[in-house]
Amino acid sequence: MASVTPTLSRHDSPGPEPFAVPHDCLVVMLVGLPASGKSTLARHIHQFVSTCTPYTSAIYNAGDIRRQNSSFHTSDFFNPNNLQGRMDREMYADINLHNLLHDLRRGATQVGFLDATNTTIDRRRRMFDTIRASGINPHVVVLDVQCTKPHLLNFNISGKAHNRDYHDKDYLTAVNDFKVRTRHYHKVYQPIVRDELAHYPLAMYVRVCNAGESFDNWSLDDSFKKTHFYLMLMHFESNYYNTEGKRYFEAVEAFYKNSTAGIAG
């Protein structure tokens, strides 16, 4: 994608139309399987927004809601046949979105990242219905994060062994349990297609593959291209490899060079 020349700064003046800083807000809905890199990408964009733009930004992570409200034991919580677990996950997703919309409404943040798997059509439809019913009318961008290379996926999973779900587990137990979790999600995963997106009040769709090796996006709302939000996202995209991607791939290379434990199949 062509590089975007304009940059944003907290200290810059808004500039001339059509790129004046608007008095509106943005919701970035993450979509992706576990260990796809979506939370990492959300954190990178959040850091960029917070340090390089005039906007306030916050991440709303459904996993954090779950950890605050229930005790995690094993990946069985994510088994689609676990009815109570499924109901709880949907409830936590709803609470998470409610928190985001509440902060947008009261002006506590202008850019909110809805960080959850959102891997089913029913979940995504409900999220959009709730956003539409809120009356806030934010711009909504879907950020579809995918990891299709096994060696990258294994590296990402290795990092999950150190998250809060596994604070009392050894490395191999944590890694193997997380792999079972990903298999549970694959059973119900419904990839996004254009026909689905046509039914949503969506400003833009962005697909990111393999830690930024490729970006694919299309705008469903021409007016969105006249906002600072669009310019901000395009600037982040065009510079992502130099700011974050290169460091990630160096870490992957070092992991495989130095690791003796590896990851079981």
Higher pLDDT, 225 or 261: 225
Alpha carbon distance 146, 208 (integer Å): 6
What are the pLDDT digits (tens) for 210-229?
A: 999 999 998 878 899 999 99
Whole-number pLDDT of residue 161: 92
Alpha carbon distance 140, 203 (integer Å): 5
Contacts 24+ apart (CB under 8 A), 7-12: 7/52, 7/235, 8/52, 8/53, 8/54, 8/228, 8/231, 8/232, 8/235, 9/52, 9/53, 9/54, 10/51, 10/52, 10/53, 10/54, 12/54
Domains contained in the chain, CATH given = 26-258 (3.40.50.300)
What are the pLDDT digits (tens) for 197-209?
A: 999 999 999 999 9
Whole-number pLDDT of residue 4: 35
Whole-number pLDDT of residue 23: 52
Per cent of the chain over pLDDT 90 is: 81
By the 10 Å C-beta count (0-12 exposed, 13-18 middle, 19+ buried), 176 is classed as middle
Has residue 32 got a pLDDT over 60? yes
Sorted by sequence, the CB contacts under 8 Å of residue 193 that are 6+ apart come out as none
**Torsion 105-103-78-245 (CA) sign:** positive
Average pLDDT rounded to a whole number, residues 3-22: 35
Average pLDDT rounded to a whole number, residues 96-105: 97
